[in-house]
Amino acid sequence: MLHRISCACCLFFLAISSLLTVISLTTASASSPKSTIHAHTLADFPTVDPNYIYNQLFYMVTNFQHREAGYDNNLPVNVNGHDEFASYWSQELMRDVAGFGAQVRRDAFNVAGWQERPATVPAFNVEVTVPGVTHPEQVVVIGCHYDGEAISTQSANDDGSGCAIELGVARAMGMYWRSHHTYPARTLRFVIFDAEEQGLYGSFHYLNSTVNGDTKNIVAMFNEEQSGIAY
């Protein structure tokens, strides 16, 4: 699994680094544009730690194993850790990008039409936004879903692995920005979607209500889905 995660993250960083050109804070002045740092070799890119991702994955799926959307209602975490998972993930990610103006919010919505469920079921996405410096209107979305099926042995991979990779990416980016005294040029949105297993409801809500169907400023979207195993 570590090899699979490492390969996925390397490909991810090669793609995202071309979009997230960073801005130097040390070479900028109040009267001149901030200078751009261009990455020329792999050493110039952020470095992800697969062991950190694996440890986060192990912790999250061990402590929040059952994560069915819509009926947590303060149930014990060993019965349904859906809400606790979302809280832990957002706290960890905010810590990874601390100092860069990040903001976290829960985006609540209702879902109707589930079989053997109430007529209206509450759900929520979680979004952490890191504002860009030079092109804040240009947005890169990094997403996955955090809910799992009610009876399943696959929730660690589907999609706990994606949630752990998001934490690893945020940590690597935060460490890179601090060590290079930089900020991202474009806005980053780390999102975990709810109610995916029941029909992609969380991402549908995000596109049609949160973004309101206006995708012209979203320059890229990376979906981390089941990255823990090879098919």
- Average pLDDT value for residue range 219-223: 94
Name the residue range of residue 96's domain: 2-223
User: Residues, the chain, total?
Assistant: 231
* Residue 95 is assigned to a structural domain of this protein: yes
Q: What CATH number did the domain enclosing 201 receive?
A: 3.40.630.10
**Count of structural domains within the chain:** 1
- Other Cβ atoms closer than 10 A to 115: 5
- Average pLDDT value for residue range 89-112: 96
* Residue 230 is assigned to a structural domain of this protein: no
Please tell me the distance from the alpha carbon of residue 150 to that of residue 80, in angstroms, as a whole number: 9
- Average pLDDT value for residue range 80-96: 93
The torsion defined by the Cα of 148, 8, 87 and 97, in degrees rounded to 10, comes to: -170
**211 or 97, which is more confident:** 97
* Residue 48 is assigned to a structural domain of this protein: yes
- pTM equals 0.82
* Residue 97 is assigned to a structural domain of this protein: yes
Specify the pLDDT at position 41: 59
Residue ranges of the alpha helices (H) in the chain?
2-17, 50-63, 82-96, 161-179, 201-205
* Residue 231 is assigned to a structural domain of this protein: no
Specify the pLDDT at position 46: 78
**188 or 69, which is more confident:** 188
